[in-house]
Amino acid sequence: MSFSGSSRLGRLLERICLTAAVAVAPGTALYWAAFNHLPADWTREAANLSVSPLLPLWVRGLCFLAAMVPGTALLVTLLRLRTLFTLYKEGRNFTLANVTCLRSLARALFVWAVASILYTPLHGLAVTAANPPGRHILALGLGSSELELFFVAALAVIIAHVMDEARRLDEEQALTV
């Protein structure tokens, strides 16, 4: 792909990441605000934990806060991706900035994986907050999506290392007469 083609692709992906990042909090808020009016298929998991399929506003507020734990990590990850695509758009592929951005992206992915694990107990407590005593749920779990995030984060660390080596070789070659 030519520089012009990768520049266009970088610009497109940069915009997609920014749009998605900007939509995380409002989209999550909209879901929990409209929870009681959504189709049952969209709310079944949370409604099954609660004694009532209709959640009071304060419970939905707690659910929103719980969802924003991984949501914030996702937002940061998307913004780091945006920065990476900005570098690609500018044709800065084997630079220290690129390597630093990849490392930062890897850290954000690790944080997102941990935040996703924390979400399960926080969500269980939030959605059952209005339940009578003895009917609150504290759930713990580690699923395939969290393991996948850890794997992708590890891949990003490896790619950052390879990119750093490529950058160093490129700099050495440029200094060789």
pLDDT in single tens digits along all 177 residues of the chain: 445 667 888 899 999 999 999 999 999 999 999 999 999 999 998 888 888 889 999 999 999 999 999 999 999 999 999 999 999 899 888 889 999 999 999 999 999 999 999 999 999 999 999 999 988 888 888 899 999 999 999 999 999 999 899 888 888 888 876
Q: At 129, is the secondary structure helix, strand, or coil?
A: coil
- What's the start-to-end Cα distance of the chain, in Å? 29
Residue with tokens 């004694």: 51
Based on C-alpha coordinates, what's the Rg of the chain? Answer: 21
Contact 142, 175 (CB under 8 A): no
| pTM for this entry | 0.87
How far is Cα 7 from Cα 90, in angstroms, rounded to an integer?
Answer: 6
